[in-house]
Amino acid sequence: MSGRPNPSVLFVCLGNICRSPLAEAAFRLEAGRAGLAMSVDSAGTGDWHVGEPPDSRAIAVARAKGVDISGYRGRQVTAADFDRFDHVVALDHANLARLRALRPADSRAALSLLLDHVPGRAGEPVADPYYGADEGFETTWADVTEGARALVRRIAGTG
């Protein structure tokens, strides 16, 4: 979008304490590895965890991968985000539907599912690990990393 010095991406899940902060962290990591300056954030469609840090299991998985997300704080997505970000990326179909309903008619932000950017995985959601065992966070990290890597390549024009 014109007027912005760097491409910008917002990752969105339900509460902004599990999947979207992990996606934000994975994307920051992958963009850094690619040498790309990007503006990145995450948000939730719900307001239950506004101002709270990510789930402790998400913090632990990210830390094990060399990323500190303990300073992230939950926030709720707003209509203004569609003007602030070039890409608004949902982690599942329910949140994608909520984003479509919230999206202003004149928005030029690209709206997608994260795994749409991974060849052969279009339409797949990133599973919500919140109610499961700790291992689910490892699976989520693997999925968001694969999606982040593919999205970085797409934005960079190399994939």
Catalytic residue chosen out of the listed positions 13, 55, 143, 149: 13
Is 149 part of the annotated catalytic residue set?
no
Is 13 part of the annotated catalytic residue set?
yes
In angstroms, the CA 113 to CA 89 distance is 5
Q: Angle 19-33/135-156 helices, nearest 10 degrees? A: 50
Report the SS3 class of residue 133: coil
Catalytic residue chosen out of the listed positions 19, 57, 75, 149: 19
Q: Amino acid identity of 22?
A: L
Catalytic residue chosen out of the listed positions 41, 55, 81, 128: 128
Is 18 part of the annotated catalytic residue set?
no
Cβ proximity of 141 and 62 under 8 Å: yes
Catalytic site residues?
Answer: 13, 19, 128
